[in-house]
């Protein structure tokens, strides 16, 4: 489990947080009504909203040290939160795997906004919820057609969690720091972390879906994860008609900064394979209309689900890893100083 320094840059690994016998390790907690988030154990602090999920870095005397959604360390009392247990042993099978699904953005950061007003944060949350539902139960998969149906050939994942939930405060639409998102994956020792997004600013017309994924230049399994997702999501979208748009290349992009390290914080800070997926172009009226439908959102979720099954159970590597490209944006990164932990 990661212990975070106050900056909050990850610094060192600490001993796992042991849960009750047979329940594994405590990787995260979910706040309940009356949860107090304090600076130090046992001290007074503000009461935060119920339904927030925080990664755990350590436990002591019945308290958990957590990272809140604003990338700040704090403490919560064990009797005021619901612990989330993760298995202490893993295997290359679905029922011994742990997944973190991260809905990109969150108010006040709406992400891209479509021509008719659809916000990316809302679409991302809905698609992510559908992925979690698929991971939470067993299914059959017809690999020829891609159909996902109830069954028992693919068991449920051991654990599947989201970084924000639709039953959380403000319907799950609130801000999350990038460090927080990556730390959630690190805290539960995720098999994979997938950040769900929708794209904007295409550069060309395509005759196929322009789904893409940003992947790590340093984690060798990240391009495999991203390639599987692009492969399966494009297949899922191919059953729909749209004036598809996108960019050049295979759909996989690895961006590095001036230091040669991964440019995107989620990829740079993730200890597990991670991918930032851009499903469809919300800025394109034709695709925005599809994103508004349940059928298209479910297809996106099923594509991600099939990719995760292949990631765990096969050695498939459908798209070669991309060559890293230098990327930089002028100006300082987004400050989290004005970020707010939701209150009741």
What is the structure's pLDDT at 225?
98
Mean pLDDT of 137-156: 98
**Entry pTM:** 0.93
- What does 263-312 look like in DSSP terms, one character per residue? SSHHHHH-SS-EEEEEEEETTSHHHHHHHTSHHHHHHHHHHHHHHHHHHH
pLDDT band at residue 72 under the 50/70/90 scheme: very high
List, for residues 219-237, the tens digit of each pLDDT value: 999 999 999 999 999 999 9
What is the structure's pLDDT at 16?
36
pLDDT for 211 beyond 80? yes
Q: Do the bridges between strand 25-31 and strand 53-60 make them parallel or antiparallel, or are there none, so unpaired?
A: antiparallel
Across 47-51, 61-65, 71-75, 327-331, least confident range: 327-331
List, for residues 306-323, the tens digit of each pLDDT value: 999 999 999 999 999 999
pLDDT for 187 beyond 80? yes
What is the structure's pLDDT at 251?
97
Mean pLDDT of all residues belonging to the chain: 92
What is the structure's pLDDT at 6?
31
How many Å apart are CA 325 and CA 278, to the nearest integer? 18
Mean pLDDT of 186-204: 97
Q: Do the bridges between strand 274-281 and strand 192-199 make them parallel or antiparallel, or are there none, so unpaired?
A: parallel
What is the structure's pLDDT at 332?
78
What is the structure's pLDDT at 23?
63
What is the structure's pLDDT at 62?
82
What is the structure's pLDDT at 285?
98
pLDDT for 142 beyond 90? yes
The percentage of the chain sitting over the pLDDT mark of 70, rounded to a whole number, equals 93
pLDDT band at residue 158 under the 50/70/90 scheme: very high
Residue scoring higher pLDDT (2 or 151): 151
Helix (H) or strand (E) holding 53: strand 53-60
List, for residues 10-66, the tens digit of each pLDDT value: 222 223 344 444 467 899 999 999 999 999 998 999 999 999 999 999 988 889 999
Secondary structure of residue 78 in the 3-state scheme: helix
pLDDT for 295 beyond 60? yes
Task: Report how far apart, in Å, the C-alpha atoms of 169 and of each of 30, 66, 166, 299 are.
Answer: 12, 18, 8, 27
pLDDT band at residue 88 under the 50/70/90 scheme: confident
Mean pLDDT of 157-163: 97
What is the structure's pLDDT at 3?
38
- The full length of the chain comes to 344
CB 172 within 8 A of CB 166: yes
């Amino acid at each position: 489990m990661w212990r975070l320094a106050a900056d909050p840059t990850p610094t060192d690994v600490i001993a796992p947080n042991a849960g009750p016998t047979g329940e594994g390790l405590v990787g995260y907690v979910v706040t309940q009504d009356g949860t107090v988030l304090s600076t130090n154990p046992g001290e007074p602090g503000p009461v935060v909203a119920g339904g927030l999920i925080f990664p755990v870095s350590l436990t002591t005397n019945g308290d958990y040290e957590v990272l809140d959604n604003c990338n700040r360390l704090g403490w919560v009392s064990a009797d005021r939160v619901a612990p989330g247990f993760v298995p202490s042993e893993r295997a290359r099978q679905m029922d011994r795997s742990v997944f973190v699904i991260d809905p990109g953005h969150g108010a006040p950061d709406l992400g891209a906004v479509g021509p008719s007003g659809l916000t990316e944060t809302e679409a991302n949350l809905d698609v992510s919820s559908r992925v979690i539902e698929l991971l939470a139960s067993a299914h059959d998969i017809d690999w020829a057609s891609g159909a996902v149906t109830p069954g028992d050939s693919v068991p449920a994942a051991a654990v599947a969690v989201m970084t924000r939930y639709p039953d959380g405060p403000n319907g799950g639409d609130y801000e999350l720091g990038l460090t927080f998102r990556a730390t959630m994956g690190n805290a539960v020792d995720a098999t994979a972390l997938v950040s769900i997004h929708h794209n904007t600013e295409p550069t060309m017309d395509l005759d196929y879906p322009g789904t893409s994924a940003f992947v790590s230049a340093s984690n060798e399994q990240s391009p495999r994860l991203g390639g599987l997702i692009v492969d399966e999501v494009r297949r899922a979208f191919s059953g729909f008609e749209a004036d598809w748009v996108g960019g050049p290349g295979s759909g996989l992009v690895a961006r590095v900064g001036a230091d040669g390290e991964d440019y995107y914080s989620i990829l740079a800070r993730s200890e597990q394979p991670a991918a930032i997926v851009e499903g469809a172009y919300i800025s394109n009226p034709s695709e925005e209309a599809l994103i508004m439908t349940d059928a298209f959102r479910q297809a996106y979720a099923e594509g991600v689900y099939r990719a995760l099954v292949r990631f765990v159970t096969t050695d498939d590597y459908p798209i070669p890893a991309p060559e890293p490209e230098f990327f930089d944006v002028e100006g300082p990164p987004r400050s989290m100083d004005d970020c707010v932990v939701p209150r009741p």
